Structure 1
Amino acid sequence: MVGPSLSSGETAGEQDIDGQNVAIALYRALLTKCRSAPPSLDRSALEAVVKKSFAKNRHVTSKYVLQGAFAGGYEALDHLTASITGDNTSVSHLNSLLYRLPSNLKTTTPPPKPPPPPPTKPAAVVGSTLSLRPRPAFSLPSRRRIPVLVNANKIPILRFTKPQPAILSQYIRSRLVLRQKRLDLKLKLETDMEIAKAEDEWDRILFARGIKEESGNEVDEFGRY
């Protein structure tokens, strides 16, 4: 038996729908016959072969490939039907076919394990502060205040209330004083470096001219007597 032929008067959409319906009907018929196969046949292996064969060809659109697949499916259906009625020839044919097929085609793949559930956070103890948060809006004395990230003289802070608390002002002031001390130290070191470079340059000039020391010894440009 072969698959359904496609007439020239049908549209592409109608042909696809007819092919899908025929494939579904053949798939169901094969699985039904596999479950009713005689004990001399491996029913689970037959079902696995049917399922994997249909899954392999589910995206095939070639007319010639589909006709060959339908022909093989209907032939297998005929042998299964005959084996159920006691035809030893069909039983031998199906056993020979199962023997020649690879082992991975005759076993069903177990479904993947579901991912583990995400870890749940421990619930807050009843009566603690965490169990009372967040508080509903109607229980608040005023509008809920969300902290705001502000820049206070290049110092990022979270401001919860306005006006600014005194302790926060004191903290910002201490940070500004520390920053100013660092800047002053940087300027002092830069000035000292310039003075040191100028002194080194002056010593080099004196050594180059061979200036005598107070002891009367003449010194060359390398500081040697």
Structure 2
Amino acid sequence: MAVALALCWAGSAHAQSELDAGALTFKDFAVADRGASFYRPLAVTLEGTATTSANVLQIDNANGLARLHFKAVKMDAAVPLGWQAIDDRERGMAYSEDQSYRLILWRVDFAFEGVSNAEHYAMAKVGTIEARRPPTKAQARKLGDGTYLIVYENVPPSRGDHESRTVFDLIMPNPANPKEGALMTLGMPASQGLRGLKLLALLKQNIHISW
């Protein structure tokens, strides 16, 4: 799996400059429940914080997705049907029915993090995560639109996980203020890393950030 992901990561110039979902769509990750999951009691809560369900803007059954608004981070995002989504005071979170795919949306103040811009943040995070979470290995790359992608492999499993994880960070700088940005973190079982990278491309295509 690691070799396959590395080959994808180091492939053609086109692949290096942007994310590509290939032939996959949200329907490949969805459960056809017509949006019912977003109105059920949350299966996950964030300890120590007041959590609510994210605001549902649209259920798109034809395309297998729901469009959601995350108030805390001022972002609209599309996620597969069958997922659930949380809004709290600092971040948005969405996760698959079995919780093996987990998405977190954040706002980032680069100065507060002790760096000057998105590039420095990406480089610093690679070093920090490798030092704090061995045997995790990470590498970062700037994409063609100015965003930064970090790939973490061999991430130790959390409680409830059945194998090591692959995690992607997508860092999106504010085009009007390089000292601010947004962060999309998507994690999945390591055996599904290539598939997860394609989902990240779909998520990126459908994110709207109110700067």
- Normalising to structure 2: TM-score of the pair? 0.22
Bigger strand fraction: 2
- Normalising to structure 1: TM-score of the pair? 0.21
Report which structure shows greater RCO (CA 8 Å, sep ≥6).
Answer: 2
